[in-house]
Amino acid sequence: MSDSTPSTSPSGRPVYVVGGGPGGLSVAYALRARGIRAVVLEKSDKVGAAWRRHYDRLHLHTTRRLSALPGLPMPRRFGRWVARDDVVRYLEKYAEVHELEIVTGVEVSKVERTPDGTGWLLHATGGRELTGAAVVIATGYNHTPYVPEWPGLDGWTGDFTHAADYRNAEPYAGRDVLVIGVGNTGAEIAVDLLEGGASRVRLSVRTAPHIVRRSTAGWAAQYTGVLVRRLPVGVVDRLARPMAKLSVPDLSAQGLPRPDTGLYTRAKAGAIPVQDVGLIDAVRKGRVEVVAAVDGFEDGKVVLADGTRISPEAVVAATGYVRALEGLVGHLGVLDAQGRPLAHGARAPQDAPGLHFTGYTTPISGTLREVAMDAEKIAKAVERNGGDALSRLPV
């Protein structure tokens, strides 16, 4: 790795990969394997920066074997459900083994076409202007923490933390805590708080999620996701209903009714199912209390959508992230109204040939599996379309 400005080979332009997480590293390897020079630009001082920030107890919800990136298996000693720290170790080893060209401490602020229209110009830290034959954006799905604009939040004097800054339950021992949001992060933090000694844990839910067992009789939920990912959405929705009734108890009485919309319909919209790591039992036994959505903060209390006012000592907002791609590529017309890339993987936007995105979907078959597959496809597309403009590695 290096913190210096990358040079451009006189024989062609490199491919710049923006982001040193799993998606970016995968693409860099796939390009290098084809003899194409790929330079990863990472704004932090290490690869896998987002993974290093995750809460302590996090484990992958996808299996070790189906979470490896191309060209390097994950070690068996990591176990079936790989811990956060082991994911970080793996990413570091991945960059080392494949001798990837990674420039740290460089943040790309804007990507645009070169004046002659033959490549891409990247504006980066310190006034750098880098010219590439192609660009792969891999800054991550969980890029910038999102907090809704709740009325009264600015005046609330309690402890407020976004899940991005939550590490473990130690600061919350003996305290009354409200977790807002019931995605995988919120569900797992609620369980972590419970097990870590919080005196009371409430979970604010706006829309009841689909909940699936991470594994049933040794069969990982991910395996089912892989099998059904190409089936019609309606078919998967219908198949999922009886499976849910068999594997997950009805928690309606505890405030978590079964969702009205289908599992795959929700997943396609970005709401992947919650994989159970203890939430079902905690809710069923009343140890995690489900409450209504948060409407605002007023007079030292949290106002819920059903009119209830509660007084937790601390709030953890597991309210998600935004991609924050607008400043980087928004001017190119390559994002939809929600700020998501219009094209993904090997397919470049129609008016932006040579610009690729990876890691901005939430497939039920597993994100790491999909970015690994996308990497190979992107590398093929870049090689096919780049021609003589590409900088080649010495043989």
**Contact indicator for 104, 35 with CB cutoff of 8 Å:** no
- CB-CB contact of 221 with 252 (8 Å): no
The tokens for 276 are 């159970």
DSSP label at 182?
-
Contact 280, 247 (CB under 8 A): no
Domains in the chain: boundaries: 15-143+323-389, 145-317
Instruction: Assess whether pLDDT exceeds 70 at residue 173.
Output: yes
Categorize the per-residue pLDDT at 6 as very low, low, confident or very high, splitting at 50, 70 and 90. Answer: low
| pLDDT tens digits, one per residue of 284-317 | 999 999 999 999 999 999 999 999 999 999 999 9
Query: Do the first three CATH levels of 15-143+323-389 and 145-317 match, i.e. the same topology?
Result: yes
Q: Residue 186 in contact with residue 318, Cβ under 8 Å?
A: yes
Residue 376 structure tokens: 């190979």
Residue 1 has pLDDT above 80, yes or no: no
Q: DSSP label at 196?
A: T
Q: What is the pLDDT of residue 270?
A: 83
For the beta carbon of residue 294, count every other beta carbon within 10 angstroms.
23
285: phi then psi, degrees, rounded to nearest 5:
-90, 0
DSSP 3-state assignment of 136? Answer: strand
**Which residue intervals of the chain are DSSP H helices?**
22-33, 49-53, 84-97, 184-195, 221-228, 233-247, 263-268, 279-284, 326-329, 367-386
Which amino acid is present at 124? A
pLDDT at 236: 94
d(C-alpha 128, C-alpha 123), whole Å = 6
* Calpha distance 328→306 (Å, rounded): 40
Is 90 exceeded by the pLDDT of residue 387?
no
Q: Counting Cβ atoms within 10 Å, is residue 135 exposed (0-12), middle (13-18) or buried (19+)?
A: buried
Report the alpha-carbon distance of residue 285 to residue 125 in Å, rounded: 52
- Joined tokens for residue 13: 């332009």
Tell me how crowded residue 301 is: count the other CB atoms within 10 A of its CB.
Answer: 16
Tell me the per-residue pLDDT of 232-266, one tens digit each, with 9 for 90 and over: 999 999 999 998 998 999 999 999 999 999 999 99
pLDDT at 271: 87
Question: CA-to-CA distance for 86 and 135, rounded, in angstroms?
Answer: 29
Average confidence (pLDDT) over 316-329:
95
- Could you tell me the sign of the dihedral formed by the alpha carbons of 40, 41, 45, 48, in that order? negative
- pLDDT tier for residue 142 given thresholds of 50, 70 and 90: confident
User: Whole-number mean pLDDT of the chain?
Assistant: 94
Distance of CA 13 to the CA centre of its chain: 30
HSE-up of residue 368 (Cα within 13 Å, Cβ side): 23
CB 117 within 8 A of CB 263: no
Percent of the chain with pLDDT over 70: 97
Domain 15-143+323-389: top CATH class: alpha beta
Which whole number is the average pLDDT over 207-211? 95
Please tell me the distance from the alpha carbon of residue 308 to that of residue 301, in angstroms, as a whole number.
10
Which pTM value belongs to this model?
0.92
The answer, yes or no, to whether residue 164 has pLDDT greater than 50, is: yes
Residue 10 confidence class, pLDDT cut points 50, 70, 90: very low
- 145-317 in CATH: which number? 3.50.50.60
The pLDDT of residue 9 is 44
